[in-house]
Structure formats: C-alpha cells, structure tokens
Chain A
Amino acid sequence: MFDTDRRLFLTPEAIALDDPKYPRSWLETPAPTPPTGQYSG
C-alpha cells in the first residue's frame, strides 16, 4: 500500500490516557472467546 520512514510520535495528551502496562495488561487477563460463527458482525 505504501511505505514510510516517518515514525509516529505520541503527545503528552495521549500518554495521559495510555495504559502503561499494555500489552502485558491484556496478556495477563483471561483469553477472549474466539469467533465460532461464519460472520464477524
């Protein structure tokens, strides 16, 4: 699709809403249920 060497920088406003443990925070929680149907909606 595209390429870029321009990384994204987070702002202090974003960091104020950041989960500092992510992604460990979701690795430490029970796994979600995988989709079983044939339609994602």
Chain B
Amino acid sequence: MPSYRQLGKLPPKRHIQLRNETGGFLNEGLYYEHVVTTQGFDRAYSIMYHLRPPTRITASETAGKIELRKVDEQELRHHHIETQKLARSGDPVTGRVPMMFNEDVVAWRSKPDRPQAELYRNGAADEVIFVHQGSGILETVYGKLPYRRGDYIVVPRTTTYRLVADDIQKEDHLVLECFGQVRVPTRYQNPDGQMYLGVPYYERDFHSPADLLTIDSETPTTILIKDRDRLTRVTMPHHPFDVVGWDGFLYPYTFNAWDFEPLTGTTHLPPPFQQTFECRGFVICTFAPRYLDHHPQAIKVPYVHSNVEADEVLFYVDGEFGSRRGVGLGSMTLHPGGIPHGPRQSCSTLIAASF
C-alpha cells in the first residue's frame, strides 16, 4: 500500500475502548473495532470502528456461480480482441464480461447500462478497476472515493462497495481480479516505507477516501459476495457502511494513469521502467506519454521481444497507436510467450495499461 492513512474517530491506542457517548448499539456505549488484516496478520492492515458489530448477519444464501470457460485454441498466435465493440449491458458488477484468465488474474470488461443493484464485496481477490471512460464515486465501507477517467481504482479484497457513476451510460472499465495482493513495487519504496526520489510516482499521487460515509440505519441490507466462482448473498440487519473512523495501510485508493511520470533514456527502456503495480504472478504497467529516445540513431519504438516466461496483454487507452492499424481505443491484444512480438514499424502509444 502507498502509505499510512487515517480518517474519522480513533481511540489513542489500538484495541482499547472507543466510547460512543450517545449510547450506541444495545446501549453498550461503544464503537466496534474491526481489524482487517492481510497475509495472516503479517502484512498491511487497517482497523476500523463501526456503529454496530460487523458480524451481524441474519441470512446467507447462494446466489449462483460464475464459471469461466476456456476456449480450446487450435494454434498459438497473437490475438486482437476488439472489446470496444462489446455491447453495453448489466450493472458495474454483474455486467462484467470475462476476457481471459489464469490462476492469478481474471480480466473482465464492463460497459454497464444500469446502476449497481446492490452492495458488492469480493471476498477472495483484490480488484483493480481501470476507468477507461467515466467518473463518479466509489462508495465504500472506508468512505467515499471519487474516481475519474484514467484512474486505477484499487480495491482490497473484503471491501464492501457500490460504484455510483455520474452517468452510467458513459462508464467503461477494465477490471482485473487479482488473487494475490496488489502492491506498489517493493523496489519503489525505501527501507523507511517512503517512495524513493526518482520513481514514477509519489504518495501524493495516491488518493484514498477523504470523507466517511457513515449510515446509521437498522434497515436490512444485502451484500453480494464473490469468492472465486461462488456468489453468496448475505443480509445484515443494518447498513454495513457504519464506520466512524479507521486507520492503517489497507484501504481502497485511486492512482491516475496520467500521473505516471515516465522515465526515458537515449534508447528505448524496457517495461520494468513502466511498472505501476506488482501482483502475484503478473505486473501492471502504464505506457504513458513520454519524451522519445534521443540517441542520434535511436529507434523510437519498442524492440521486438519474446517474453519467454509470460504472456503480455495490452489495453489501448488513449492517443493514436502507430504500430498497428485497426487497433483502436478499447482494444486488447494478447501476445503469448513462445512467439516474439513487437511493433510493425512504429509505436506512439500514449497510454496502454498492460499486464
């Protein structure tokens, strides 16, 4: 996670009482501590304080399964998936369409045509929602997180949320469901936990919820929970957005692709210089507008390369992509390991999210 943040009411020490002077739930006079941890208590965590115990569940029922289907490909080849042609349908969660997957990641495209029907939580994966088009607010248990075009919205697993768009008909997302944790690359942070000078972004480029969303309501509320392929609908007797304060390193945040400061050289620098996030089994890179390579004999395009241990996926976000006609905004291309790939002749990608 980028850095420590805090919001709202907190007791002076962890694991002591935070008194609710209005009496609170069952007149116990308390706010209810909830520790959200990762990696078996060893990595990033946050502590939040609720109006009511977050364990109150009155019903739990199956809500079906989402089974991903593999295509039995007959040949090893590059693919150009014209996801810009995807029809608008569903809501920002249930309308997601799976494009590709393995044990570490599922890539979905989403072009919703209706608001999110109910609260949602991914219980088994972090989510990175790349906002290709759209803007609005991600309402979460941590508070309200505004988002805009070009944002990576990073949502840690178990975060309950509702995506509230300014105009649902303009929303267009690439969603990565990440079964390992999404992190800032370790090599970007010094031993004190601060971003090194010279890395492509700094703490100020990361935006966490600035306002709490504290709903004091005993209205029964359902949450759709996804864990891998299983969907469960749980009912709480109160609204789960009842947090009065939280602190820690685990929270949803945004980082905008246009805030990525590309590094350049006299000749072409490889994708590790564009890395934005690290995840288990894959990375996410941002190919942002950059000063072109300035060696007198520089070839101002990426060199042909073979990723002998990985597949490469490009999602085309903005600008004119010069190396391949027919590849447009919203296109996804898959370049499997085992066969080389590269630009046809030139490459002027402005921003391509790549994983």
Given contacts A8-B336, A13-B98, contact A40 B69 (CB under 8 A): no
Q: How far apart sit A37 and B336, CA to CA, in the bound complex (Å)?
A: 31
Cβ B79 vs Cβ A22 within 8 A: yes
| Contacting residue for B101 out of A2, A11, A31, CB 8 A | A11
CA–CA, A19 and B309, complex, Å: 25
CB-based contact A6/B103 at 8 Å:
yes
CB-CB under 8 A from A12, the residues of chain B are 69, 71
A18 to B349, CA, bound (A): 21
Main secondary structure of the interface of A (DSSP, over half): loop
A1-20 interface bits toward B, Cβ cutoff 8 Å, 1 = contact, 0 = none: 11111111111111101110
Q: Which of B328-352 contact A (CB under 8 A)?
A: 332-334, 336-337, 341, 344-350
Residue of B nearest to A15 (CB): B71
Using C-beta atoms within 8 Å of the partner chain, give the interface range for chain A. 35 or more
B interface residues, how many (CB within 8 angstroms): 60
| Least distance between B255 CB and chain A CB atoms (Å) | 18
Select one of B98, B281, B290, B344 contacting A4, CB under 8 A: B281
Point out the residues of chain B lying under 8 angstroms from A19, CB to CB.
79-82, 326
Inter-chain contact B322/A33, CB cutoff 8 Å? yes
Binds A, one of B136-144, B219-227, B270-278: B270-278
Partner of A9, one of B83, B101, B323: B101
A35–B319 alpha-carbon span in the complex (Å): 13
Q: Are B327 and A26 in contact, CB atoms less than 8 angstroms apart?
A: yes
Question: Any chain A CB within 8 A of the CB of B51?
Answer: no
Contact A26 B336 (CB under 8 A): no
Whether A9 and B70, one on each chain, are in contact in the complex, defined by CB atoms closer than 8 angstroms, is yes
Instruction: Taking A10-B73, A18-B79, A23-B80 as given, write out 18 further A-B residue pairs in contact, using a Cβ cutoff of 8 Å, ordered by the A residue number.
Output: A1-B272, A3-B309, A4-B281, A6-B281, A8-B100, A8-B334, A10-B334, A11-B99, A12-B71, A17-B82, A17-B83, A17-B85, A18-B81, A19-B326, A33-B322, A35-B348, A37-B292, A40-B350
Contact of A3 among B71, B103, B310 (CB under 8 A): B310
- Do B79 and A6 have beta carbons less than 8 Å apart? no
CB of B86 closer than 8 Å to a CB of A: yes
**Cβ contacts under 8 Å, B341 to chain A:** 23
Contact between B102 and A8, CB atoms less than 8 A apart: yes
How many Å lie between the Cα of A39 and that of B278 in the bound state?
27
Whole-angstrom CA separation of A27 from B342 in the bound complex: 12
- Asked if B35 lies at the interface with its beta carbon under 8 angstroms from chain A, I say no
Task: Report B238 CB to chain A, min CB distance, Å.
Answer: 37
A23 CB to nearest B CB, Å: 5
Do B345 and A7 have beta carbons less than 8 Å apart? no
**Interface digits, B117-128 against A, CB 8 Å rule (1 contact, 0 not)?**
000000000000
Complex interface bits, B131-175 against A, C-beta within 8 A gives 1, otherwise 0 = 000000000000000000000000000000000000000000000
- Chain B residues within 8 Å of A23, by CB: 77-78, 80, 324, 341
A22 closest partner in B (C-beta): B80
**Which of B71, B309, B325 contacts A30 (CB under 8 A)?**
B325
Q: Are A1's CB and B283's CB within 8 A? A: yes
